Structure 1
Amino acid sequence: MRKNNYLILMFIILLVTLIACSNGESENAEGESSGEEVTVKLYTSESQDQVGAMMNEFKKEHPNINVDIFRTGTEEVIAKLEAERSAGGIEADMVWIADIDFFNSLDEEDMLEEYDSPNAENLNEDFIYNGGKYYEVRQIFNVLAYNTAHVTEPLESWHDLYRDDLEGRIAVANPNYSGAASLTLATLVSNEEFDWDYYVSLRDNSLKFEQGNGALASKVASGEYHAVSVVDFMARNAQNEGSPVEVVWPDEGAIIIPTPVGILEDSDVKEEAKLVIDYLLSEDAQNMFKEQGYIPVNPDVGVPENAPSVDEIDIMPLDLDFVKENREELKTEFSNIFNE
């Protein structure tokens, strides 16, 4: 009889232990899975090294969430998404690229998950798109940069890129690959002070192209190019690292490059993806963006070395309706001018 009672008692203890362990593995204090690992697929055009570094920090806080990064240029990310959709289903859970018009299109098709991040409570409304369907997590601008060892007359205007002394030594990113370059193209062409004549003048001054902004920053630092149109943080980082690079915020205004991040509605790991959004908007991540050379969206974090304060930046108007209505025409006319 005692033996039977003992066996029953042991069975009860074992059962209670299993239930407790099961509850502990399925959910921790933050409501996040702490058992089986989960993978969030992120498609991005942002710098592989910098995004990878941020996701490594994210994993320290959420060890059971892996962020699998697919990185290429904005136009190629879009092409991959469209190909997957045509094949039966998008594999990405999150998208982070420099094409806000594409995000707007996704939103119109109800393909984005609305999320009210707690870390967006005090965020400028300009950085919260369509009720939280996608967010700006740091600020990027297209500006000019030149090599001070080769250029004696400082650049001040976008028009300076076709000065005679810079012939054959100027370069921009290819808008057929780079989202930042594509938005720069659309912004300048829609401005009556520039329009397509501006790009004809650049062509006549033997403009060169690079696939992305990283090569531009590297080659203006080395002196291979004397002046470039490039995203601000890359030029600023080269300057801060001691290269003979001067960053120019043009008189006509810098060109803002929205680079939203959002969660796809059909994702199977939306709750984990929301934690990624929370992290990117957190003070820790905002400070990390600052360390990487970006201007954060959280004004309390400040700005990186040699960056202007946000209220000092003049921005050229970005007409998103123009971008949407002329998307294909922009590519066609650009290709006609440069035989791309």
Structure 2
Amino acid sequence: MKLASFAAAVTALTLSQAALAASGTITVYTSQPNDQMAAVVAAFNKDHPEITVDVFRTGTTELMTKLEAEFTAGSTPADVMLIADAVAMTKLKNEGRLLAYADAPIGGLPEAVVDPDRTFFGTKLITTGIIYNTNLVKTAPTSWNDLTAPDVAKSLIMPSPLYSGAAVIHVDTMVQQPEFGWKYYETLADAGAVAGQGNGTVVEAVSRGEKAYGIIIEYMALNAKAKGSPVDFVFPKEGVSSITQPVAILKDSDNIDAAKVFVDWQIGKAAQEQSVEQGYFPILAGVNPPAGYPALDSLKIMPADPARMLADDAANKQKFADLFGG
């Protein structure tokens, strides 16, 4: 047997032994929608009926508040975190709350979605790009810079980072890019661009023709298009910001073996194929994206430092509010 094949066989055996040893109950704190999470648990239990998964679901901000209160009280029932916020995960990591899972099966995952210290791992990809109304726009934009043209910017709406976690990631990513920075947002504001609340306000405004252009997460735009709204979506040539919905094990979990099996499954093929069915980009090599989505390796993902996002979070939100209100 070749060395690579032998190593793969050993890894598979080790994982299967770990799965056999794991049982009992784990509690997952998540921001993923309830219907999607119910399907996730059902699929996981099809593969691992020996592990019971209890779910507590709410928005990331409320989850973090709940966790902080539980930490202050001395303990939390949570074993696993599954949230669409690498910045919040970085905060937990910096506070020493996450388990370093050094031997997690990360083969096939992009380096960008894996914490270098192996405390959290991306499970899917949600990108932000440009939606436009096809009845109002005759030449589709191809670039973030296309939005700064005065006649375009005055008909542009975007989600606010004061309301949307995805907008936090997008704004913080854009201002970290040397070619954009806060100058980009100042230009948009001066030309009349506006901020709504969440991504829902953006897709509604553009679909109804109240605005011709919007900044939005891709699946909301593509779902609206599939349902017949007069919209289309662009992945700008400079790149897109991304949310990876990381999964992590809390260091003080009382069922680490079962929690590891859940993490392994989340970054494995079965969960990745399920994420496609739910309308997300998969992150595992060899799993095709949803119909109508470009190949993942054709996208340029703009780099961003979660630690810098965390450090700059309050200042960035204040700067955005100064420009666009809120």
TM-score, with length taken from structure 2 = 0.81
Report the counterpart of residue 14 of structure 2 in structure 1. Answer: none
Q: Distance in 1 between matches of 2:19 and 2:120?
A: 27
State the Cα distance separating 1:163 from its structure 2 match: 4.5
Report the counterpart of residue 271 of structure 1 in structure 2. Answer: 257
Q: Indicate the SS of the match to 2:215.
A: strand
- Residue of structure 2 aligned with 1:31, choices 14, 21, 38: 21
Distance 1:30-1:187 versus aligned 2 partners, 3 A rule: same
**Letter matched to residue 195 of structure 2:** K
Q: Indicate the SS of the match to 2:233.
A: strand
Q: Please tell me whether the aligned partners of residues 187 and 317 of structure 1 are also in contact (alpha carbons under 8 angstroms).
A: yes
Higher mean displacement: 158-167 or 306-315: 158-167
- Residue of structure 2 aligned with 1:70, choices 54, 57, 65: 57
Q: Please tell me whether the aligned partners of residues 256 and 318 of structure 1 are also in contact (alpha carbons under 8 angstroms).
A: no
Q: Does 1:304 align with 2:290?
A: yes
Report the counterpart of residue 195 of structure 2 in structure 1. Answer: 208
Q: Does 1:185 align with 2:171?
A: yes
Alignment of 1:212-291 (within 5 A): 213-291=199-277
Q: Please tell me whether the aligned partners of residues 117 and 278 of structure 1 are also in contact (alpha carbons under 8 angstroms).
A: no
Q: Distance in 1 between matches of 2:264 and 2:232?
A: 35
What CA deviation, in whole Å up to 9, does each residue of 1:295-333 have, x standing for no partner? 211121122212222222123332445324322211222
Q: Please tell me whether the aligned partners of residues 29 and 63 of structure 2 are also in contact (alpha carbons under 8 angstroms).
A: no
Distance 1:47-1:174 versus aligned 2 partners, 3 A rule: farther
**Letter matched to residue 190 of structure 1:** Q
Q: Distance in 1 between matches of 2:307 and 2:105?
A: 30
Q: Distance in 1 between matches of 2:123 and 2:166?
A: 16
State the Cα distance separating 1:102 from its structure 2 match: 3.0
Q: Does 1:128 align with 2:111?
A: no
Higher mean displacement: 244-253 or 217-226: 217-226
Report the counterpart of residue 43 of structure 1 in structure 2. Answer: 30
Q: Please tell me whether the aligned partners of residues 145 and 246 of structure 1 are also in contact (alpha carbons under 8 angstroms).
A: yes
State the Cα distance separating 1:86 from its structure 2 match: 3.3
Distance 1:170-1:50 versus aligned 2 partners, 3 A rule: farther
TM-score, with length taken from structure 1 = 0.78
Alignment of 1:104-143 (within 5 A): 104-115=90-101, 119-143=105-129
Distance 1:47-1:32 versus aligned 2 partners, 3 A rule: same
Distance 1:93-1:197 versus aligned 2 partners, 3 A rule: same
Higher mean displacement: 323-332 or 135-144: 323-332
State the Cα distance separating 1:118 from its structure 2 match: 6.2
Q: Indicate the SS of the match to 2:196.
A: strand
Structure 1: stretches of 5+ with no match in the other structure: 1-27
Identity across aligned pairs (percent)? 33
Q: Does 1:198 align with 2:188?
A: no
- Residue of structure 1 aligned with 2:65, choices 54, 74, 79: 79
State the Cα distance separating 1:182 from its structure 2 match: 0.8
Q: Does 1:332 align with 2:322?
A: no
Q: Distance in 2 between matches of 1:337 and 1:85?
A: 36
Structure with higher Rg: it is 1
Q: Which has the higher contact order (CA 8 A, sep 6+)?
A: 2
Distance 1:41-1:320 versus aligned 2 partners, 3 A rule: closer
**Letter matched to residue 207 of structure 1:** V
Q: CA RMSD in A?
A: 2.9
Distance 1:99-1:118 versus aligned 2 partners, 3 A rule: closer
